[in-house]
Structure 1
Amino acid sequence: MSEFDNLSSENQEYVLNLPYHLAQASMADDLHELLTEFEFLEHKILISSPQPLIEDYNLALQPNIIVIENMKNDFKLLQSFFRLSSNILADYKTQLVEQLWGRMQNFETPKITELLKEAKQSKTAWLRPLKPSLTHPGGNLIRTLTGHTSFIWAVAAIPNSHQAISGSIDGIIKVWNLDTGEELFTFNAHSDAINSIAVTSDAKRAVSASSDKTLKVWDLETQKQILTLYGHQESVNAVAITPNNKWVISGSDDNTLKVWDLEKGEELFTLSSHTGNITSVNITSYGKLVVSGSYDRTIKVWDLQKRKAILTLKGHKQVVNTLTITADNKYLVSGDFAGVIKVWNLLNGRKALSIKAHSLSVQKVAVTPDGKQIISASYDNTLKVWDFKIGKEISSFNGHSDHVTALAITSDGKQVVSGAEDDTLKVWNLVAEEKNIYITSHAKAVSVLAISLDSKRVISGSHDNTVKVWNTQTGEELFHLQEHPNWVKSVTVTPNNKQIISGSYEGTIKVWDLATGAEIFTKAIHNLSVIALLPTPEGKRIISASIDKTIKVWELKTGKEVFSFVGHNYGVSAIVITPDAKCVISSSYDKTLKIWDLETGKELYTLIGHTDAIEALTITADGKRIISGSHDTTIKIWNLATGKQDFTLNGHSYRITTLAVTPDSKRVISGSYDTTIKVWNLETGKEEFTLTNHKSSINAIKVTPDGQRFISVADDNMLKLWDLTTGEEIASFAGESKLRCCAITPDGATIIAGEESGKVHFLQLEETNKLRC
C-alpha cells in the first residue's frame, strides 16, 4: 500500500502542492527526492494528470533552486518523459510503470535506476519491455496532441503565442495550447475537408479553406464564425493573409486565385493563368507579391497591384505541392510530388538549389524565421530539417505513423508543429537536448510477425519494404534484409528454423537464410499482393495466397510451382493447413471458403453461407472444424469432414477482423471492428464473455501455448493480456500508434507487438508469483 493512500482531502491537497512548498523554501534535496519517488509520481498521475507534474519540474528548474547537475538532468529527463507520455497517461493512468520502462531503461543515473526499480515492484502483474522501444525523452519530439478523429491536413502557429490551430478532413478545427497540450476549443467548421488555415498577424482571426468550396473567417477571441466566403467553383486548397490583415488570397482546384476583402468578405478580383489545380499560396512580408504552386508543375509570382503574373518558374517535373517565402523575401522554397525541394531566387526567378529530399511527396515546406533551415513534411511519414545554404540534411524527425501532411513553425523559431494522417499533431524541438537517441525500428508500419519454432528469432515485415530478424530474448535487431520492391505483407519460417520466406505487395516472394540473412532467391510467384505464406509440415513446400485470386504450392528448394489453385472470384484473404497436412483451406472476399487437396491439387468443395467478404479464418487443433469470420458480422463453424455448417455465432455488430482457437479446440475468440472481443464455446455455440476494454477496432488475437490466456492488439494503441477462464484483463501495454499485429513465442516467454509507426515491442509478463505468460 502506498503512503499516499487514504489521505484526507486536506492532506491530499497538501501532498499535491508539496513540490511548490519545497521550491518556495529552496529545499533542493527534498524536492529531488520527491520528484524522483515513484509513489508520489504515480499518486499525482492517478489523482490529477501529467501536466501538474510537468509544472512541478519547472519549479525545480528555476534559477533560484540550487541543484547539482545530476539533479538537474534527472528533472529534465523526467519532465521530458511526462510530456512524451502525457497523451497516453491521460487516457490510461495505470500505464506509468510500462511507460517508464518503455522509455527510460537507457538512462542509468542512480535516481532513474532506483525509480525504475520502485516502479517494477509496484504492480502484481505488468508487461515489462525487454528494451526501451518507445520514444526516448530528451530527443526532438516534445509531445503528441490527440483529439482529432480524422486526417489532419492543415496546421498553423498562432503568432506570438504558444498556440496552434489545426484542421482535419472531417471539417473540424481545433485550437491547442502547445505548452500544456490542452485542446482549448473546437469549431465544427466545414462540411468537407479542411485543406489550409491561415492566421492574421495580430492573432485575432483565422481563415480556413475547404473542399466544400468555401473559406470561413473565425474570431479566435470570441470563438465564433464571422464570415463565409463564396466564389470558388471547386475545392479551396490554399489560403494566405496579407501582412496588414486586410486581404485574403485563396487557391483552388478551379485553377484560380481569388483576392478577398477580409473585413467585408467580398471578392475583390480573380487571378487566372495556371492550367492546373492550385495547391499552395504565399505572400511576401511587404504584401505586394503572391506566389502560387500548381498541378501544372509551375510556380507563378503575381503582382497584387498590377493583378497579373510577373514570373513563371519552371523546373519541377511533378506537381508543385507546397511553397513558402523566406522572411527576407529573397527566396522561395517549393516541394513537389516526387519528393524534391527547390530553392528559387525570388528577385530573378533563378533556381538556387535542388534537393532530392524524400522518397515520397513533399506535402509542406517551411523556413525558420532566421532563414537558416528548411523544414519539410512528407508522405514518407517523416519531417526533415535542411541547411538552407547547402541543402544538407541536418536531422530527421520520425514519430508519425502515417503521411505527414501539415507543418508550422512557432514564431520564436524553436518548435515545429506537424499534423498527419495518423490523426495526431506532434510538437518538436528543432534542437534535441540528448544526442544519439535512436530506437531500432521499421520506418513504416509493421504488417506481419512470425516466430521460429525454437522461440529464438522473430521476423517482422513492414510497409517500408523490409524484413527484419530479431533476438526474442533481448529484442535486439540481428539482420535487416534487403528490400522488397514493395510492402512486405507476409512472412513465415520453415519448420527446421533455417529459412525465412517473405511475400510482397506486388507478388514477389523472397527466400532467406535465417542464420546469415543472405537472400537465397527471389521469384515473382503472384501477380498481386501475397497475403499469406505457410510451409508444409515437412518444410519442403510453401503455400502462398494472393489478392490475385490464387493459391500456389511451390517447391522451397527450387521455387518451381507444383499446383495453382484457381477458383475464387475475388482475392484470397487467408489460408490454413489441416493438421494432417492433406488439405489447405482458403477464404476469400468472394464470400466463400474452399477446401483443396494438397496431394492432387484439386478443389474438394466450396463452403457457401456468408453474405459478405470473409476476412478471418482458423482451424481447430483437432482438425475437425473450420471457423470463418466475415464482414457480415457473423462467425460460422464448419464441419471439415462433411463440408456442412454446424452453427453460426451472432453477436458482433460490425465485421469480424480476427479469430483464434484454444489449443484444446473447445473455444474460439473473435475480434471485431466493433471494438469488442467475444469468447465462444465451440461445443455449445454459446457466447461465454464479451470483453469491452478496447476503444477501437481489434486487429489481432493470439492464445498462449498453455491455452490459459490470450493477447489482443487494437487501433487504440493497446495490447491487452486476458485470463481465458475469467475474462479478466491481467495486464496491458500502450504503444505510441495503432498496434497492427502480435505474436507469442512457442515457449510462452515473450510477447511481440508491431506498431503502425514501425516500432516492434518485446514484452514479458512480470507477476509476483512469477508465472509465465
Structure 2
Amino acid sequence: MILTPPLWATPCAALHTRSGHRSRITCLRFNDDGSQLVSGSQDTTVIAWDVLNESGLFRLRGHKGPINDIAILESRRLIVSCSKDTFVRFWDLDTQACVYVLVGHRTDVTGLAFLDQQQRLITTAADHQLRVWQLGYSSLYASSGTTSNNDAADEHTPDAHLDEVKSPVVAELQGTVARSTHDRALGMAMSPDHRTFAVFSADSTIDLFRIRSTEELQRRLARKKKKAAAKAGDQDTPQLDLNDEIVLGGTVMAQGKVRSFAWQPTEQSGNKLASVTLLSTNALETHAFERTGKGVTSQRTAYFSHSGHRKPVRSIALSSDEQLVVSGSNSTAKLWSAHTGRCIRTLESGYGVTCCFVPGNKHIIIGTKDGWLRLFDVASGALLHEVEAHQGAIWGLDLTPDETGFVTGSADKTVKFWDFELVSHAAGGSKQLSISHTKTLKMTDEVTCLRFSPNQKLLAVALLDTTVKVFFSDTLKFFLSLYGHKLPVMCMDISQDSTLLATGSPDKNLKIWGLDFGDCHKSFLAHTDSVTSVRFAGSSHYVFSTSKDGVIKQWDADVFTQIQTLKGHKSVISCSAISSKGGLFVTGSHDRSIRVWRRSREMLNVEEEAEMERETEYEKEQAEREAMEARAQADDDEAGRATRRSAETLKATDRLLEALLVAIEEDAKGPDAPTNPLLTAYRVETGAEYLRHNLEAIKSSEMEEAMLLLPYSQVSELLKYLHGFLTRNLSIEKASRCLLFLVRVHFNQVVADRSLLNIFDDLRSSARAVLGNKRDQLGKNLAGLQFIRRHLNENSTMVDLEVAAPPPKKSKRNT
C-alpha cells in the first residue's frame, strides 16, 4: 500500500511490459494508428516497438546524449529525434539509418514540432529563442498527403527543386522567435489543429504562440503597405518576416515547475482549446484557451492534487496500535491512516528529521534540523509545546522503555534526557502534556543516532568518528566502544531481547554486534549504496535494512543469511519504522511516497529468493556488457536489436530447446515405445504438439532473443516442425514470425546448406498459401466491419434529421 495515492483511483493493470532501454525513458510517441511506438531514453538510443506483436522492431544509435523529444513523420517514413548533444537527427524507418543531421544549436535541443505539412520545423533549446527551419525532402521522402491548397504554400514546399540535391533532407534556418523568459525551455507541444503551440520553461512559465493564417498575414501586409505609403520618402517595399507569422499570444504561470504539457482532444471546433499540465509536485492542471484576434486567453479549469508530501520524506514513525503513521518532510509533517492511506492532518512542524509517538498515541514529538522539539496534539493538530533543545540538528530521538520520557542526540555533541509532565493550562486550568529537560550527556563528537535497549539497561550512541559508544542508562557510565565501520554509523537498532545491535553506515555495510562483549558477529556488504535505516522485526532476530539504492532487504541475524529483497520505491529510501510485533513495516522515500509493507501468510522459499537475486545480478551485468558493446559499435552500426538479453530470455531458450529435443526423441520412437511423462503432464499425444505448446508459451517480447540463442544445429529441425504447423494451420502467427526471424539471422548459413533447399521450398509454398488465406479472411472481415459502420452512420444521421426537423404546422379551420 502506498500512502501517497494516485490522482485517480481507477483499477488498472499493465497490458504489456517491454524491456529494451538501459536507463530512464524520457519520451514516447505513437504513430497515427497506434500500431507502433517509438521511445527515447537517457541511454542515448531510440527504439521502435510493434504494439500489436508486443515486440521490439529496431534500436537506433547515433546520439551522444539523452534523447529529449521524438516525432514520427509517418507519411514520409521518417523518425526525427533531438538530444542533449545539440543535434536533431532524421532516421529512415525502412533502412534504420540516419539520413540527415541538423546542426546549428549551441545548447541541447529540448523539443521539436512541425508546421506546413512537415515542411517547417520548430525547435526549442536551452536558450531563450525558438528556431524555425525550412525543410526540403528529396522525391524519396515526398509525402503522399502533401497538397497545395493556397498560393502562399509554394514558398514552403521546396520538394520540387530538391531532386537535384544529393542529400535526402535539407534544412535551412528561416529565423528565430524570442520567448517571454530567458530560462531554459523544457519542451513544446503543438495543438491538434497546428495553429497554436506551447513552450514550457524551467521557471513554471508556459508561452502560447499563435500562428497567423493566410488571411491574417495578407491583412497585416496590407496595413504595412498602407503605413509605408503614408510616410513620405519611404521607398522600401514592406515585407512580412517570421515574427509577423508566429506571435506570442499569451503566457500562463503554472503553480509549480512544469514536467510535461499536452493538448486535450476536444470535440469543439474553432478557436477553443484545452490542455493538461503535469507539475513537479505530482499535480495536474487543466486549462481552457480561446484564440482571439489579439492573442490567446487562458483560464485554469481544474487542479488535481493529493495531500501527499511535496518534498522528500525525511522521518517516519508508527503508532503502537498500528493505526497511525506520522511522516516529516522539509517543512511539514503529515498524519496518515495506516490502513486506508488517507492523510488525516498536516502539521506545520518545520524541517522534521526525527519523530515519534508519545505513549498513548495522542501526541507526537518532532525534532527539527534547526534543533527545536515540537509537541503536537493528534486530535486537534495543535502545537502544545516547543523548545529549542539543541544548537544543532536533532539526528536521534528515542523513547525510554518505561515510557516516561525520551532522549535526543544532536550535532551539537550532546545527548539530552527529557521527561513527560502535565502542566496546568493558563486559560481554563486544565492540564496538558509538556516536556522538561532533566540531564545532559556530553560527547566527544557529533551524535548521528542513538537507541535504548528494551531492557532499559543500555544506551547506544553513534558518533561522527565512526564509533558507537554504549553507556549504562542509569549511571551513564561508559560500557563498550564498537568500531569497525569505515564511515559514521547513521542508523542502528537493538533486538527485543537486548542481545544484538545492528548498525548501518554509508560504507554500504550492515554489522551485527553482540551487546555482552561488544564483538562483531557478522558484517554484510548489504547494499550498493548507503544504508539509511535498520529495524529488528518484533521479538525475532530478523533485520530489515533500507538504503539509498531504493531497495529493502531482510536478513537473519542468527544464521547470517539474506532472506528476501523488496522493491517498490523509485528513489532513495530515507527512513523506516516497524510495529512492535513486526507485522507492519513502513518506509519513506525521496520519491515523496510512503509504502506500507504487511507480513503475509505465504511461505517464503529462501532458495528461490536467492535465485531471483542471482538473476537480477546477471541482468545488471548483462546490461553493463551490452552498454559497453553499444558504445563500441556506436560509430559503426546505427541500427541494432530493440530487445536485450535477460534471465527470462535464457529460460525461454532453455524451454524451447528442451521441448525441441523431446519432440525429436518422441517422433523417433516406435508406436509401442513408452510415452514421455512430459507429454502426459501437458495432455498432448505427439512431440510436435508438445513443442507447439512451449512455443506458444514464449512471450512475444522474448521471442527474438530466444530464437537468437538457439544453436544453429537445431535450427533445421525447428524449421521442419514449423512447416508442419503451417501445413495444419496451427500457431500461424508464431510460426511465421519464427520462420522469418530465423531466415534473417541465419541467412548466410541457410543459403550455403543445400540440405535445406527442399525444406525451404516446402515452407515457401505452405507459408504463401496459409498467409494468403489469412489475408483474404482479414480483408473480408474488414469489409464487413466497414459495411456495419456505414450502416450505423446512416441510421444515426436519419435519427438526427428526424430530431432536428420542426413539427408540422396544424392547419387552421374556419369555424
Partners of 1:236 and 1:131 lie apart in 2 by: 34
Decide whether aligned partners of structure 1 residues 562 and 324 sit closer, same or farther in structure 2, where only a CA change above 3 A counts: farther
Secondary structure at the counterpart of residue 75 of structure 2:
coil
The corresponding residue for 2:84 is 211
Counterpart-to-counterpart distance in 1, 2:330 and 2:53:
33
| 3-state SS in 2 of match to 1:372 | strand
Spell out, residue by residue over 1:596-644, the C-alpha distance to the aligned partner (whole angstroms, 9 max, x if none). Answer: 67678898775321124545421122334322133444332334465x4
Residues in 1 aligned to 2:45 and 2:519: alpha-carbon distance in whole angstroms: 47
The 1:254/1:666 distance shift into structure 2, 3 A limit, reads closer
Relative to 1, partners in 2 of residues 1:585 and 1:387: Cα closer, same or farther, differing over 3 Å? farther
Judged with a 3 Å threshold, the aligned counterparts in structure 2 of structure 1 residues 593 and 726 are, in CA distance, closer, same or farther, namely same
Which has the larger displacement, 163-172 or 534-543? 534-543
Could you say which residue in structure 2 is the equivalent of 1:52? none
The aligned counterpart of 1:452 is 319
Q: What is the CA-CA distance between 1:373 and the residue it aligns to?
A: 0.6
**Structure 2 CA distance for partners of 1:255 and 1:168, relative to 1, 3 Å:** same
CA separation of 1:554 and 1:561: change in aligned 2, threshold 3 A: same
Equivalent residue of 2:26, what SS? strand
Query: Helix, strand or coil for the counterpart of 1:610?
Result: coil
1:496 aligns with 2:496: no
In structure 1, the partner of 2:504 is: 629
- Choose which of 357, 364, 384 in structure 1 pairs with 2:260: 364
What secondary structure does 1:202 align onto? helix
Q: Could you list the runs of 5+ residues in structure 2 that have no partner in the other structure?
A: 139-151, 157-170, 213-243, 267-271, 291-296, 421-433, 610-815
Task: Verify the 8 A CA contact 1:721 1:730 in the aligned structure 2.
Answer: no
1:723/1:142 Cα in 2 relative to 1: closer, same or farther (>3 Å)?
Answer: closer
CA contact (8 A) 1:585 1:596 kept: yes
Q: In structure 2, do the counterparts of structure 1 residues 143 and 498 end up closer, same or farther at CA, with 3 Å as the change threshold?
A: same
| Aligned with 2:301 (options 388, 391, 394) | 394
Paired residues of 2:113 and 2:188 also in contact (CA < 8 A): no
| Aligned equivalent of 2:202 | 337
| Native 8 Å contact 1:535 1:543 kept in 2 | yes
* Secondary structure of residue in 2 paired with 1:170: coil
Aligned match of 2:777: none
- Residue 680 of structure 1: aligned partner: 556
C-alpha deviation, 1:386, in angstroms: 1.1
Q: Of 194, 200, 205, which aligns to 2:67?
A: 194
Alignment partner of 2:347 out of 477, 482, 486: 482
1:661-693 CA-to-partner distances (Å, cap 9, x unmatched) read 3555655455675968453344xxx43554367
In the alignment, structure 1 residue 514 sits paired with structure 2 residue 378: yes
Q: Hey, what does 2:327 align to over in structure 1? A: 461
Equivalent in 117, 121, 136 of residue 9 of structure 2: 136
* Inter-partner Cα distance in structure 2 for 1:510 and 1:223: 62
Q: Indicate conservation of the 8 Å contact 1:468/1:477, yes or no.
A: no
2:260 counterpart letter in structure 1: K
- 1:372 and 1:387 in contact (8 A); partners too: yes
CA shift for structure 1 position 514: 1.7
Letter in 2 for 1:393: R
CA RMSD of aligned residues (A): 5.4
Greater share of helix: 2
Output the CA distance in 2 between the equivalents of 1:191 and 1:630.
36
**Displacement of 1:381 after TM fit?**
1.9
The alpha carbon displacement at 1:493 in A equals 0.3
TM-superposed CA distance for 1:387, in Å, is 1.5
Q: Tell me the distance in 2 between the aligned counterparts of 1:575 and 1:587.
A: 6
Counterparts of 1:537 and 1:365 in 2: how far apart (Å)?
53
SS of the aligned residue for 1:208 comes to strand
Are 1:379 and 2:280 counterparts? yes
Q: 1:647 and 2:647 equivalent?
A: no
Quick check: 1:239 aligned with 2:136? no
Size of the aligned set, in residue pairs, is 517
Structure 1 residues 130 and 257: alpha-carbon distance in aligned structure 2, compared to 1, 3 A threshold: closer
Task: Tell me which residue corresponds to 2:774.
Answer: none
Task: Classify 1:350/1:259 alpha carbon distance in 2 versus 1 (closer, same or farther; 3 Å).
Answer: closer
Shift of 1:494: 0.5
- Whether 2:494 is the aligned partner of 1:619: answer yes
- Partner AA of 1:335 in structure 2: F
TM-score, with structure 2 as normaliser: 0.50
Looking at structure 1, the residues matched to 17 and 137 of structure 2 have their Cα atoms a distance apart, in angstroms, of 35
Once the 2 structures are TM-superposed, how far is the Cα of residue 499 of structure 1 from its aligned partner?
0.5
Q: CA separation in 1, counterparts of 2:457 and 2:154?
A: 76
Structure 1 position 535 matched with structure 2 position 411: no
Q: Which has the higher strand share?
A: 1
In the TM superposition, residue 257 of structure 1 has moved relative to its aligned partner by: 6.9
Distance verdict in 2 for CA 1:564–1:342, change over 3 Å: farther
Report what 1:10 is aligned to.
none
Evaluate the alpha carbon distance shift between residue 549 and residue 172 of structure 1 in structure 2; reply closer, same or farther with a 3 A threshold: farther
1:578 maps to a residue whose letter is S
Structure ID, larger Rg? 2
Per the alignment, residue 661 of structure 1 pairs with 536
- The alpha carbon displacement at 1:369 in A equals 6.0
**Could you tell me how far apart the structure 2 residues matched to 1:364 and 1:726 are?**
42
Matched, 1:576 2:442: no
TM-score by length of 1: 0.53
Which amino acid in structure 1 is aligned with residue 301 of structure 2?
I
Following superposition of structure 1 onto structure 2, how do residues 8-407 of structure 1 map, counting pairs within 5 Å?
136-137=9-10, 147=19, 150-159=23-32, 161=34, 163-175=36-48, 186-187=59-60, 190-200=63-73, 202=75, 204-229=77-102, 232=105, 234-245=107-118, 248=121, 250-253=123-126, 307-309=174-176, 312-314=178-180, 316=181, 321-324=186-189, 326=191, 333-343=198-208, 355-358=252-255, 360-368=256-264, 371-389=272-290, 391-396=298-303
Residue identity opposite 1:173 in structure 2: V
Q: Does structure 1 retain, via aligned residues, the 8 Å contact 2:260–2:277? A: yes
C-alpha contact (below 8 Å) 1:235/1:252 kept by paired residues: yes
The answer to whether the Cα contact below 8 Å between 2:405 and 2:419 also exists between their aligned partners in 1 is yes
Residues 575 and 587, structure 1, Cα contact 8 Å, conserved in 2: yes
For 1:286 and 1:365, locate their aligned partners in 2 and report how far apart those are by CA, in whole Å.
Answer: 30
* 1:288-320 deviation line (CA, Å, top 9, x unaligned): 99xxxxxxxxxxxxxx999444x6454x58655
Alpha-carbon distance between aligned partners in 2 of 1:607 and 1:553, rounded to the nearest angstrom: 23
Amino acid of the structure 1 residue aligned with 2:555: V
